Amino acid sequence: MASSILLFLFLSFFILKTSSQTCTTQKLTVPKTKTLYSNCINLPYLNSYLQYTHNPSNSSLSIAFIASPPSPSGWVSWGLNPTGSGMVGTQAIAAYSEDGKMTIKTLDIQSYKVLVPGKLSYEVWDLSAEESDGVIRIFATLKVKEVGEVNHVWQVGPSVSNGRLDIHAFQPGNLNSKGILKFSGGHTSSSTVVDSNTRNKNIHGILNAVSWGVLFPLGVIIARYMRTFPSADPAWFYLHVGCQLSAYAIGVAGWATGLKLGSNSVGITYSLHRNIGISLFALATLQIFALFLRPKKDHKYRHFWNIYHHSIGYTIIILGLLNIFKGFDILNPEKKWKTTYIGVIAALGVIAVLLEVITWIVVLKRKANNSTKTVDGYNNNGQ
């Protein structure tokens, strides 16, 4: 009984201590002047905090960044981005514990390919770091050129290999850990501010969703159901071809942006998404060639061409839909975008079901009429 009470008290103390660790409860001082920081922010992601003081007289920004790495061998970093709102262009300060000693690195991040130490574009002094109870604190003073506000980025990573920071996770918190730091106090989340890489991801997603996820299924619906009506011939064929050619052109553009994103993100690999994308491009290209190899209706090989054409077409639709939802999981956009796309696909599905029913009704009536004509012909002609 006594041990249970002690365990309860210990857990209660731990939970209380953890929940009370906010920016304002961590009274830190500027190392050189021993004065409290003027501003304090509970950053919205990665359980991180920032205390800072801006001195307009010498354009200096003194900061204390506090965060816990994902593992004891992990790293934390904070930096300013004078050119954008994302990772590329960030002038970062990273720290980690190695053999009981703190190591600090400055990183001039010019691309997603590699993170190598480099001199910052900002003048930095009074740089130090400390670690206690799994929490790392970075102290620094930077001479800032910006007036009023500046973009800042923070991050945590799991490990360090041979002095190089290993890649961080890609959970929503890691992807959204950026904002606008106001020198007078306050922070604005930059989740609505789109950097170039995020913009390219959005373009990649939109192009492929429109191509493989809307136009290709629409083209199949046109071909399957409009040709049932003789009055729609040959209009249905030109609509079908136009729709599929447009889908292919847009899909190739989306595929190309995907290749570009991959080349700019060394170490970030989405193998299944990439492989499905390559397969879609190859299959769609085969479909385009099939258009030029299409035999006439009465040709002896037309039946085999139809099997090939239909099989490839339905395979493209299935793989396209699968890859689009894989893309949603990777890009992790606002829920409304995924919901909207599901609504569009559901609408196309309902239309296809209704047209399927109408088509079978028309076909069965046509067969019934043909049978009646045959019987009437027998009665009248005696044959």
Domains along the chain? 23-182 (2.60.40.1210), 197-368 (1.20.120.1770)
pTM over 0.75: no
Print pLDDT tens along the chain (383 aa).
544 444 444 444 433 343 445 666 677 888 888 888 888 888 889 989 999 999 988 899 999 999 999 999 999 999 998 887 778 788 999 999 988 899 999 998 876 655 667 788 899 999 999 998 889 999 999 999 888 888 999 999 999 988 888 888 888 788 889 888 988 876 665 544 455 667 788 899 999 999 999 999 999 999 888 887 777 788 888 999 899 999 999 999 999 998 888 776 655 667 889 899 999 999 999 988 887 888 888 888 888 888 888 999 999 999 999 999 998 887 777 788 889 999 999 999 999 999 989 888 888 888 887 766 555 555 444 44
CA triple 335-336-339, angle to 5 deg: 90
Query: In the prediction, which pLDDT does 82 show?
Result: 85
pLDDT of residue 166: 87
